[in-house]
Structure 1
Amino acid sequence: MHKVSSKRQVTLPKDLCDQTGIFPGDYVEIFEFNGKLTVIKKVVGSSAGSLQHLKPRIAIRDNESLQDALHDCH
């Protein structure tokens, strides 16, 4: 069992880090679903090119997009 510190920190067990390839200095993402936490190691470049298939809509200007986004916030 692991104790949460006063700073809400938890030490990851070395054996689990070894099994999952998590090393000091790595970044992890923590997700909550149905009251359970999941820790996932972030891999630099893993999402590179994932939006590459999307094409910009030249007809929409930056200012128009900004005004549309601001309008949706209110």
Structure 2
Amino acid sequence: MPIVSKKRQVTLPVDQCAIAGIRPGDEYESFVSRRGVISIVAKRKDAAKGLLKGMKIDDQISDEDLLDSSP
């Protein structure tokens, strides 16, 4: 099982990186939910381009509420 180093660094398992398409040198973003779940997402150029086009915005729901509702 991987452990967190004194510098708070972690090593991602090779099989998980392969599934996520993460390679050495790739940029990523990380997010923490209120429940303490850390998500790591590889950054991809133009990954979301046009993805939300035409979607209605519900400003009654915060980003934090959405993150807390995920499994």
Residue aligning to 1:41:
42
Q: Which sections of structure 2, spanning at least 5 residues, go unmatched?
A: 52-71
TM-score (norm 1): 0.60
Report % sequence identity.
44
> Which has the larger helix fraction?
1
Aligned residue-pair number:
53
Q: Deviations over 1:21-74 (max 9, x none)?
A: 000010111100021100111102324578xxxxxxxxxxxxxxxxxxxxxxxx
Superposition misfits of 4+ residues, deviation over 2 angstroms: 45-50
The one of the two structures with greater contact order (alpha-carbon pairs below 8 A, sep at least 6) is 2
TM-score (norm 2): 0.62
Larger Rg: 1
Q: Which sections of structure 1, spanning at least 5 residues, go unmatched?
A: 51-74
Give the superposed CA RMSD.
2.0
CA–CA separation in structure 1 for the residues paired with 2:4 and 2:27: 19
